[in-house]
A and B are shown apart, each in its own frame.
Chain A
Amino acid sequence: MLAFMAWRNLWRHSRRTLITAAAMAVSVAFVMGMLAYVDGMYRKMSEVMIDQATGHVQVAHPDYATRRTLYDTVPDAATRVAALEALPDLRASTARLYGFALLGGAEETAGAQLVGVLPDREQALVPMAERIVQGRWLEGDAARQIVLGAGLAETLRVAVGDQVVAVTQASDGSLGNELYEVVGVVTSGSVTLDRTGAWLSLPDLQALLVLPDQVHELIVLTDSRESRLGDALVRDAVERVRAAVAPTTAGAPEAPELLIRPWWEVSPTTASMMTMSDSTAWLMLAIVYSVAGLGVLNTMLMSVFERTRELGVMKALGTRPAVVIRLVLWESALLGGLAALGGLVLGGALDWYLVRYGLDLTVGDGERLSSAGVLFDPIIYGVVRVDRIVITVASVLVVAVLAALWPAVRAARLRPIDAMRQD
């Protein structure tokens, strides 16, 4: 009966109720849209940073994290790649070897970062084939083939079908040099790699650098699509990867203990950017809801003030203070419920738009957005997470109830004899 009373009380001033509920609904919709956008950014960052660069779990030489020298390699690469491949419930795994070389075309030379990859496995992680702007991605054993970043190809003035020569100092001190055929030109999604990157098959680069069966990174992607810091799935994968690669380490006494890290340790910059975005989102939620809460506070204070006499009568009839508090809180909770419902509809529409059409962040004359040297697709698509929506909607109810506490206590403290004298 109290809830019915509260509901009817809400409609005594229907315009005021609707305006307050609408303001709160807009807040809910705004927060829902903002969170979907932030999560879309996460996904984008995750695609670029995690999928293409760090993976969810990275296996490397312990000194590779700090020194990144040619010699800090993971030995027995083939065995380890096979061990990772045997692990269940992983999206993809691969190995990469990095090196620097002077690349020469027919007319120009330029320094290049060479990336030795397992072409098919790399493609499973990063859709390189779709990013090819000329020619094709590495195929088959890809022997003596090379794919160049678009900027590098331009610098070298080479195109698909041309040959480039790579000259470098190999790990044994010898001068490594080899001739490759350009089979593709790619825009990789990384500003640096587009200017300097060149992809070739892992065996080719191992041969060039004289690093047989060695790689710099083993990369593992789990099934996690959340890219959340501290993701349990990733933590679990770290342990499974450790177990999978450890026996090989034990079998080779000269091999160093391997460094096996989740992505947020491999790329703390990304992690801190995401944490900051997350904090910013929640801070915005707090600010928006505080304003909405003030609206509720005002409405409920007015409502209680206008009904002073009535509340006095209720108390005179024997209504306990706690019941008065419950009545006022019910009213506010129902107001919050209306707002939550309206907010869900509005926010749902906004989320749908963000998921379907995204938000175009094209800057200047159509250039792509870049952050920390990584190019982002300028359209950020929203990502809808049920837990975020639950928190958003539950928060508006909590805010509504909290904002009504003071008016409720005020109402409960009324002395019936004083309250009934009010007109």
Chain B
Amino acid sequence: MSDPQQSRPHVSPPLGSPIVTVRGLTRDYEQGALTVHALAGVDLEVRRGEFTALMGPSGSGKTTLLNLVGGLDEPSSGSVQVDGQELAGMNRAQKSDLRLHRIGFVFQSYNLIPVLSALENTEFVLMLRGVPAAQRREKAMQTLQAVGLAGMEHRRPSELSGGQQQRVAVARAIAGEPALVLADEPTANLDSRTGHELIALMEKLNDDLGLTFVFATHDPKVKDAAHRVVWMEDGRIHHEEHQ
């Protein structure tokens, strides 16, 4: 299959240009006879280099929105553009490629591949992209160093603490230098101190590399660190705060 993203050299647009554009996005779920409106019409624009937190109570639609932006779920209506590409009409393989080349994910429960070491987990996305072994190993080593895990490269996830595992997850998300990192409750399973450290790490990556982060979170620490907080309620954007 041809891969327009791979064949086209990726030239990063300047900081501040829109990287996510969401228009009239809805997502309905059928639950028996009931239809649940998880998203009830969301318009949102995220600009390059932003550190954005989606906040709101459980069921407000934060994770649903994140999943739709990441191409993991199909909207009922509306459109999503990521890095200038419209997701509607893309087939599974094209969405896979979009995620592989443009988006990094950090999940609540780390979700590392248990049979791979920290280094191999970090390399994984690069391997999928077809980066030569030596090159991807070097890049993964650098990234692990950047997230403070130098010396732990060969440990398996089971040999790492929760905070260390989440750092590996961050390393995996950013090793491929994606245009966007989507993080779903990344601090929820971490103690307060480790959560602080992780947020500080992501802030640093945002500052140093200009990486765009979008969080779905309940964590006030993330809220405090975010440039922009988008409050959600009942599947809609309630209001925004800029800090």
Contacts and interface: CB of A to CB of B under 8 A. Distances in A.
A12 B115 contact: yes
A5 B113 contact: yes
Contacts of A181: none
B172 A5 contact: no
Contacts of B96: 315, 318-321
A307 to B, nearest CB: 9
A416 B67 CA distance: 10
Contact of B100 (A2, A5, A12, A318): A318
19 contacts: A1-B124, A4-B120, A5-B115, A5-B116, A8-B116, A12-B114, A313-B107, A316-B70, A317-B99, A317-B100, A317-B172, A319-B96, A320-B97, A320-B100, A320-B128, A321-B96, A416-B72, A417-B72, A420-B107
Given A416-B72, A417-B67, A417-B73, A317 B124 contact: yes
A314 interface: yes
Interface in A322-368: 323
Nearest to B127: A1
What does DSSP make chain B's interface, helix, strand, loop or mixed?
helix
A35 B236 CA distance: 71
B125 interface: yes
Chain A's interface size range is: 20 to 34
A310 interface: yes
A8 B127 contact: no
Given A8-B115, A318-B98, 11 more contacts: A1-B120, A2-B127, A309-B111, A310-B111, A313-B107, A313-B113, A315-B96, A317-B105, A318-B96, A320-B128, A323-B128
Chain B's interface size range is: 20 to 34
Contact of B111 (A5, A313, A319): A313
B203 interface: no
Contacts of B127: 1-2
A415 B72 CA distance: 8
Contacts of A323: 128
B105 A316 contact: yes
B93 interface: yes
B128 A316 contact: no
A320 B105 contact: no
B34 to A, nearest CB: 19
B101 interface: yes
Contact of A314 (B67, B97, B113, B120): B113
A316 B99 contact: yes
A420 B111 CA distance: 9
A287 to B, nearest CB: 35
Nearest to A10: B115
B210 to A, nearest CB: 21
A192 interface: no
Contacts of B185: none
Contact of B92 (A313, A317, A321): A321
